[in-house]
Structures are given as C-alpha cells and as structure tokens.
Amino acid sequence: MTKRILSTIAFLVGAASAAPAQTATQTITFQVDAINQIAFSGSPSLVINTATAGSNPTGATAAATWAVTTNQTGAKITASIGSNMPAGLTLSVDLTAPPGATSAGFQALSTTSVDLVTSMTKLAQGALTVSYSLAATPAAGVVSSTTRTVTYTITGGT
C-alpha cells in the first residue's frame, strides 16, 4: 500500500514539470553601408530683360528644391557646369544647408567644381531650397536662350 501511494505522488510531480520550454536559434547577419544620396528637382529658367538706367542689367533669380541623405560624417556637396558661361554672364547657386551643415552661400558656377554645402553629418532632409542667380554686364550683349547642366556631387565623409 505504501508503495502504491509513493508511485502516485511521483506521477503527479512528473506531470507538473512536463512540457519544458523548447528553444531554437537563428543567427542574423546585418550590415549598413555608407550611404550618400542627393536629388534635385526642377529645371529653372532665368531671363534678364531690364535694367535700372545707369546700372548693370537687373539680375534674375529662380528656385528649386533638393534633398539629401547621408549616414557619414562631414559629407559635402560640390557643383559644376559642363561649359563655362559666356563672357559677362554669371550663373550662381546657393543651397540651403540641412540642420547642422554649412552653406557656402551663392557661388559662381564654372567647369571647376565648387563647394556648396559642407559638414553634413548623418542626416536625412528633404524640401531644401536651391536658389539660382543670373547676372550680366552690358558687355555681355544679347545672349539667346541657352542651357547649362549643373552637376551636383556628394562626397562622403568618414
């Protein structure tokens, strides 16, 4: 009788500890590369068609927008045009800097790259303003409609 009681107790204890936790494992490998992406929208047109008497022709301005994502430190944006402007004409551009970065303000464009925004660090920002300015001297004369393609380049930092 005593033996039977002990066996019953052992069975109940076993039931209480049944179904131990089951586990499985997976190894996840992940990586984030250096990312430096910019985009510009709009194809602005600039026309100079008047002047204040006694002054150079009145400059023209136009606006567009740009966006940037970088996950590096100290990235910068430069710009250049495919061929230089006619003598007496100056095309300049100013990029509004994203938070924490520095804009160089209006910079005249040529075939030599010029820094526009520096010190961009780990940010994603859209709807930033691009401002274009066209200036002419009387010596430039009449210039028929022509185009320049501005090439913007983002250079990653560290």
Partner 1 sequence: MAVSGNPGALHITTAVPGSQPTSVSNNTTTYTVTTPNANKTYRITAQINANMPTGVTLTATFAAPAGATSIGPVALDVTARNVVTGVPKSTNSTQNITYQLSATAAAGVIASSTRLVTLTVITP
**Residue 67 Cβ, how far from partner 1 at the closest point, in Å?**
3
Interaction site with partner 1 (CB under 8 A): 18-19, 21-35, 37-39, 66-73, 122-127
DSSP code per residue over 90-157: EEEEEEPPPTT-EE--SEE--SS-EEEEEEE-SEEEEEEEEEEEEEE-GGG----S---PEEEEEE--
**Residue 85 Cβ, how far from partner 1 at the closest point, in Å?**
27
Gap between the Cα atoms of 93 and 147, Å rounded: 15
Gap between the Cα atoms of 64 and 62, Å rounded: 7
Query: Closer to partner 1 at the Cβ: 53 or 127?
Result: 127
Query: Closer to partner 1 at the Cβ: 45 or 129?
Result: 129
Query: Closer to partner 1 at the Cβ: 18 or 47?
Result: 18
Query: Closer to partner 1 at the Cβ: 21 or 142?
Result: 21
Gap between the Cα atoms of 137 and 140, Å rounded: 5
**Residue 127 Cβ, how far from partner 1 at the closest point, in Å?**
7
Query: Closer to partner 1 at the Cβ: 85 or 154?
Result: 154
CB 60 within 8 A of CB 105: no
Local structure of 16: helix, strand or coil: helix
What token pair was written down for 73?
């430190």
**Residue 58 Cβ, how far from partner 1 at the closest point, in Å?**
34
**Residue 61 Cβ, how far from partner 1 at the closest point, in Å?**
23
